[in-house]
Structure 1
Amino acid sequence: MRGNDPKQQALFSYISPEARVPKDHPLRPIRIMVDNALQDLAPLFKKMYSHTGRPSIPPEQLLRASLLQVLYTIRSERMLVEQLDYNLLFRWFVGLSLEDKVWDHSTFSKNRDRLIEHEVATAFFQAIKGRAERAGLLSKEHFTVDGTLIEAWASMKSFRPKDDQDPPAPGSRNPEVDFKGQKRKNETHQSTTDPDCRLLRKSQGKESKLCFMGHALMENRNGLVVDSRLTEANGTAEWHAALEMIENLPGTNRVTVGADKGYDVPVFVDGLRERLATPHVARKDKGTAIDGRTTRHEGYRVSQKIRKRVEEIFGWLKTVGCLRKTRYRGLDRVGWIFEFSMTAYNLVRMRNLIWAV
């Protein structure tokens, strides 16, 4: 018997978004961890807002929505709001019912400065990290450090001399610029779109780009990020940021720190030894600062094998987390989304470690 094709939809629905989400959906364990972490941040949220006036959109919902944007590679807040309007899974994760009205996309921009000012991304990262530590997922002795370039939201045309006061040629919002043969350096030039980014190339033979530099400190047991930061891009930023992250590690026990050949320089190796850290750094073919007292141990070879996992973190951030080219401008905003994306990576990794069958 052929079924009917009704043209009129039902007026009422008695099924909640919770019932629509499968019990084994991968977002369910992430939602549990996020809710517990946000509950820990309730005192911070209370300080962020006035006790009088019109109620705001809950910061918990904004953070859950931003987390969805990272996890599902949604390239803009406009598209995210559109998805929240009709996607039952997204409504359930954020905490919206079917009847709740979705806020405007400008809400994210208006609240971002407030979240940056109160360092919410750092507090959220530490809350998730604390859950990983209580679950016994973190190593306290063996770590790996690495850095990557995050391309800035600025074109090479915007990289102009600092003392150039001449406005661009009229007639087009994207005028022709010929900088062939010019020497363009960070000392004399600056981007008019994002003054915080710097011109840098990854290695010999690679093109120069306007970018920032992101750093990550990974523990070697399960490949979780225990610290991260974003800095200006320059030739020594990797070493100094890595030493700063190592110095902030809790405890006084000696640790090992793995790294690639880019960290095989005296300033970094000696800095690790001053901080009671054993440098398990890959050796250069010439001019190495690593000697036999380190490489003779079996632990050195183990660190060299595990340290490559840190590339998986940056690979995830750039493919899934939309950080191959940042959508924001300024060191503070890019640093905020960089640390927030690191938290998203840890959540995915912890879900696989804790709830994997």
Structure 2
Amino acid sequence: MIPTPPRQGGDPNFHNERFSNATHRSKTDPDVRLYRKGKGKEAHLSYLGHYVVDVPSGVILAAEATLATGDAETRVGRRLLAQVQQQLPQPRKLAADKGYAEKNFLKEAIEFGLDPHIPLQREEEEPIPTWKRCTFCLDRFRQRKLRVQWAKARNDVRQLNRQPVTAYVRHLRKRVEHLCVEAKEWHGLDRARVRRLWRMQIQIRMTEDLHLAFWKVQRTCHGTAGDNQWLFKYGI
């Protein structure tokens, strides 16, 4: 079989060519990245928008735009947790999708005093790792300690997911789905209106401000307020 020669510059034929962020970049926006939402989905040049939402009231508490990378959800989620915790009283529950079922994120959420109701791939509890021999290597000792903390955090989440309140918390997540649809249809987040990441930060923050202004008007008319439950959700 004769291998296909590499495509030359200016050749519009992209057939059988695989695109990736390691080989391709946008000439007009170097910050944008190829990203797809799931297996079998097409990849688009995208940014990620992250929101922290008070579920009962539907108020966006914090927002941030990042590059479309695989670890952006949990990395930004931990930062937004610390940011919002300084502004509001201690919340009780944290609801999120499977994208946030990362070991460090679960461990830090529990350390923040939250009950993370996050679905895991395995529902049965895992054994806590043990070792027959002790170690005098400091790095290895720290790694063992982290592995124990990760296993305990995942088991704590599994116990929380068996409680009846978990179904109710996940039901409340649908309110955030409506917020994502509203942001895309009414506030222009269906696509990036600007180029470069720092400009996307402005677009994300403007959406947050518009939604907060609408919530204040609604609260003035109806007198509704939330009880500090948080939910993380991202949109492209």
Question: What's the TM-score once normalised by structure 2's chain length?
Answer: 0.70
Q: Distance in 1 between matches of 2:106 and 2:173?
A: 16
Letter in 2 for 1:329: R
Contact 1:218 1:225 in 2 (8 A): yes
SS at match of 1:225: strand
Alignment of 1:327 with 2:193, yes or no, is yes
1:214 matches 2:49: yes
Give the conservation status (yes or no) of the 8 Å contact 2:55–2:176. no
The separation in 1 between residues aligned to 2:53 and 2:27, in whole angstroms, is 35
Deviation at 1:335, TM superposition (A): 1.1
2:145 aligned with 1:308, yes or no?
no
C-alpha displacement at 1:350, in angstroms?
A: 2.7
Instruction: Name the residue aligned to 2:94.
Output: 257
Residue 115 of structure 2 aligns to a residue in which SS? strand
Shift of 1:301: 3.0
Overall identity of the aligned pairs, in %: 25
Question: CA separation in 1, counterparts of 2:102 and 2:207?
Answer: 30
Partner of 1:276: 113
CA contact (8 A) 2:119 2:161 kept: no
2:211 matched to which residue of 1?
A: 345
Q: What is the match of residue 205 of structure 1?
A: 40
Q: What is the letter of the counterpart of residue 263 of structure 1?
A: Y
Letter in 2 for 1:276: G
What secondary structure does 1:351 align onto? helix
1:282 and 1:304 in contact (8 A); partners too: no
Whether 1:180 and 2:25 are equivalent positions in the alignment is no
Deviations, residues 161-181 of structure 1 (Å, cap 9, x unaligned): xxx9x9x75xxxxxx622222
Paired with 1:338 and 1:287, the residues of 2 have a C-alpha distance of 39
Task: Report the CA distance between 1:321 and its aligned residue.
Answer: 0.7
- Of stretches 181-190 and 232-241 in structure 1, the one that deviates more from structure 2 is 181-190
Higher RCO (C-alpha 8 Å, min separation 6): 2
CA separation in 1, counterparts of 2:159 and 2:69?
A: 31
Q: Residue deviations 1:97-118, cap 9 Å, x none? A: xxxxxxxxxxxxxxxxxxxxxx
Could you say if the C-alpha distance between residues 284 and 350 of structure 1 is closer, same or farther in structure 2, counting changes exceeding 3 Å?
farther
Deviation at 1:327?
1.4
1:181 maps to amino acid: N
Closer, same or farther in 2 for the Cα pair 1:283/1:179, shift >3 Å? Answer: same
Question: How far, CA to CA, are the matches of 1:252 and 1:225 in structure 2?
Answer: 16
Amino acid at match of 2:217: R
C-alpha distance in 2, partners of 1:287/1:308?
A: 26
Q: 2:35 is paired with a residue of what secondary structure? A: strand
For residues 124 and 160 of structure 2, the distance between their equivalents in structure 1, rounded to whole angstroms, comes to 16
Deviation at 1:302, TM superposition (A): 2.7
Structure 2 residue 108 is matched with structure 1 residue 242: no
Moved over 6 A (4+): none
**1:38-96 CA distance string (max 9 Å, x none):** xxxxxxxxxxxxxxxxxxxxxxxxxxxxxxxxxxxxxxxxxxxxxxxxxxxxxxxxxxx
- Runs of 5+ consecutive residues of structure 2 not aligned to the other structure: 1-6, 126-153, 224-236
The SS at the match of 1:190 is coil
Alignment match, 1:150? none
Q: Distance in 1 between matches of 2:51 and 2:90?
A: 21
Distance 1:187 1:286, change over 3 A: farther
Q: What letter is aligned with 2:185?
A: T
Partner of 1:15: none
Give 3-state SS (helix, strand or coil) of 1:191's partner.
coil
CA contact 1:254–1:278 (8 Å) conserved in 2: no
CA 1:182/1:292 → structure 2, altered by over 3 Å: closer, same or farther? closer
Paired residue for 2:58?
223
Distance apart, 1:315 and its partner CA: 0.8
- Counterpart for residue 58 of structure 1: none
Q: Distance in 1 between matches of 2:90 and 2:187?
A: 34
Deviation, 1:285, is: 5.5
> 1:141-199 CA deviation, whole Å, 9 max, x = no partner?
xxxxxxxxxxxxxxxxxxxxxxx9x9x75xxxxxx622222222212221101100000
Equivalent in the alignment of 1:267: 104
The code of the aligned residue for 2:103 comes to P
For residue 109 of structure 2, what is the amino acid of its counterpart? Answer: L
Rg comparison, structure with higher value: 1
SS of residue matched to 2:57: coil
